[in-house]
Amino acid sequence: MTRSIKVSTVNVNGIRAAVKERSPENLGMLPWVKETAADVVCLQETRADDDQLADALAPALADGWHLSSAAPNVKGRNGVAVLSRTPFEEIRIGCGAEEFASHGRYVEVDTAGVT
């Protein structure tokens, strides 16, 4: 059985800045996450550790999104994350050489039978 999913990808250039409400016209990205039709949202350049990421995305997590991330090993650099409407079955962090495993550049997930 074939199942289609919608995937969005966003270079947030810092998750805390991306979710910040700046004005009535610029509410940050959280309203978009709430309204998107995407099943999976991939985030690049989160520039945050796991706790900071969870805090910044707390409203999305409260709405039922699931989060996995590869935090950077250098403060304020790199970082990637995946938000999914369905729970993760498997999570893989890092790829290739061990020297890149902790740089916050790669996260791969399996969710609801989709890799």
Q: 103 lies in which domain range?
A: 7-111
Q: Would you say 74 and 40 are in contact if contact means Cβ atoms under 8 Å apart?
A: no
Instruction: For residue 36, tell me if it sits in a domain.
Output: yes
Looking only at the bridges linking them, the beta strands covering 88-93 and 66-70 are unpaired
Q: What is the CATH number of the domain that holds 15?
A: 3.60.10.10
Mean pLDDT value of segment 45-54? 95
Instruction: For residue 84, tell me if it sits in a domain.
Output: yes
Lowest mean pLDDT among 20-34, 71-85, 95-109: 95-109
Lowest mean pLDDT among 35-44, 56-65, 88-97: 88-97
What is the distance between the alpha carbons of residues 41 and 30, in angstroms, rounded to a whole number? 12
What is the distance between the alpha carbons of residues 101 and 106, in angstroms, rounded to a whole number? 8
Q: What is the pTM of this model?
A: 0.90
